[in-house]
Amino acid sequence: MITYEELFIGGTWTGPSSPELLDIRSPHDNAVIGRAVQALPADVDRAVAAARQAFDDGPWPHTPPAERIAVVRKLAALREKRADEIAALISAENGSALWFTKAGQPSLTRQVDAYLKAAEEFGWEETLEPVDPAAPFRSVVRREAIGVVAAIIPWNSPFSSASAKIVPALLAGNTVVLKVSPENTLSMNLLAELLADAGLPEGVISVLPADRETSEYLVKHADVDKIAFTGSTRAGRRIAALAGEQLKRVSLELGGKSAAIILPDADLGAAVQGLKFGSLLNNAESCIAQTRVLAPRSRYEEVVAGLKDLIESLGVGDPADDGTFIGPMIRRDQQERVRGYIRTGIEEGARLVTGGPEVPAGLEAGNYVTPTLFADVDNAMRIAQEEIFGPVLVVIAYDDEDDAVRIANDSEYGLSGGVWSADPAHALAVARRVRTGTVTINGAPIGFDGPFGGFKASGLGREYGAVGLGTYTEYKTITVPATR
């Protein structure tokens, strides 16, 4: 049993405003696996005050970039040493298959390495020559830290979401209050332990597990300069409205309902196996999951049959078992939400190919959902338009390439997507027409050097690489007299 009776505020473990412990439960069987205190508004006040003082009066914003890079590099090394422990803890909290959380550890290294490379090459200060060579001035353009960053992350991929925000924020010289979901208290407190050993100055970072009401208090806090949020589009709209009232800087990585376009010449076996990972990874509790599969009418039933075989072959059960691909949903209410969408699909008239709202036999103690496939789906149906966040795929027929692009773009979201074709150049041409922030060709993984984020209701701003680092900086231009 893991127990945390203190909060990590400003780099120090300290007593909370309330000593009440929250039970952290396994999604597999709802057994208590840990207990930990949760932050309340008074704790937010302390964390923000520490971050404010560390930014306004402390050394971190003025520390040379090379030294900030060294601290983040040390943090990354500390995480790598505890990679197996981190993977096991996330799996226990989230219900993610253990093989997946282990495989995600090298991905975290690549994510951080891309930020470190960007920081090493970043134009922290540049001198611009005027258009007129005879002008009596030059412009010095600086990229400076924004201030106190409130980084708010979801439960589904906690270390990845945390790294995507705190790493660039720290590299840019900001101070950070990281607000994490109660479900991830144990793994995120482990992250706090790593941060305590990384060599950050006092006050630079806090890690606060807290509920939604406390999150909103943090968002509205007058001493927060920027909000970086990953989560639902509904919450993102609320945060954007609150940020607008105070003109806070804000970046939002929100929901998705991504489409995978299978072109007529695609290798269906490869496409179906690719969608195993592109659509169903992490129990399909993923904002980038390609849960709308667009198939040509000429090969529609082949695609449906292939996906049926795939879904029925997936191991469902204890995330610690080697044969498990689909584990439980994070919470009981999320399980019921997904099962409700399955019932909605049946009511809407979609063809239930496999699965259904019944809980898998023998797994009733946990938050399990039977992986489900719908065919004969109209893109206007709720199961095709709304983010389900669970293992439910829909197959939609299209007439020609223009129709496929139209259907893919007929969504309020625009976060991810995929194109499958025997001709990668042709697939690239189709991908250019899809209104979404990221498109993968034939299952190629998303890289961390390019920007990641969404069009439309899938968010504002970008993460990863140099572009993601830049979102944690402000431009400053200083005009100086030219020397002759």
* pLDDT, mean of residues 322-334: 97
Cα separation of 176 and 169, whole Å? 7
Of the CA atoms within 13 Å of residue 460, those in its CB half-sphere come to 13
**Angle of CA points 84, 89, 90, to nearest 5°:** 100
pLDDT in tens, 422-471: 999 999 999 999 999 999 999 999 999 999 999 999 999 999 999 999 99
- Give the length of the chain: 484
pLDDT attached to residue 133: 81
Write the DSSP string, 368-389. ----EEEES--TTSHHHHS---
Question: Which domains does the chain possess?
Answer: 2-255 (3.40.605.10), 259-445 (3.40.309.10)
pLDDT attached to residue 130: 86
pLDDT attached to residue 62: 97
Three-state DSSP class for residue 396 = strand
| Catalytic-labelled residue, pool 183, 285, 287, 387 | 287
Percent above pLDDT 90 for the chain: 96
Looking up tokens 């601290």 gives: 71
Cα separation of 39 and 368, whole Å? 29
| Catalytic-labelled residue, pool 253, 285, 387, 463 | 253
Beta strand pairing call for 32-37 and 21-25: antiparallel
To the query of whether residue 253 is one of the catalytic residues in this protein, the response is yes
291 contacts 393 by C-beta, under 8 angstroms:
yes
Average pLDDT across the chain, whole number:
97
* pLDDT, mean of residues 332-359: 98
Structure tokens at 191: 């992250």
* pLDDT, mean of residues 91-109: 96
Q: Is residue 378 very low, low, confident or very high in pLDDT (cuts 50, 70, 90)?
A: very high
pLDDT in tens, 18-61: 999 999 999 999 999 999 999 999 999 999 999 999 999 999 99
Residues 6+ apart with CB under 8 A from 178: 151, 153, 162, 165, 166, 188, 205, 206, 207, 208
Structure tokens at 378: 């109209």
pLDDT attached to residue 135: 83
* pLDDT, mean of residues 471-483: 93
Residues 6+ apart with CB under 8 A from 63: 173
Structure tokens at 454: 């969404």
Identify the CA nearest to 314 among candidates 281, 337, 347.
281
User: What DSSP state is assigned to residue 469?
Assistant: H
pLDDT attached to residue 484: 57
pLDDT attached to residue 129: 85
Cα torsion angle, 87, 88, 93, 98, sign:
positive
Q: Is the model's pLDDT at 472 over the cut of 70? A: yes
Q: Is the model's pLDDT at 165 over the cut of 70? A: yes
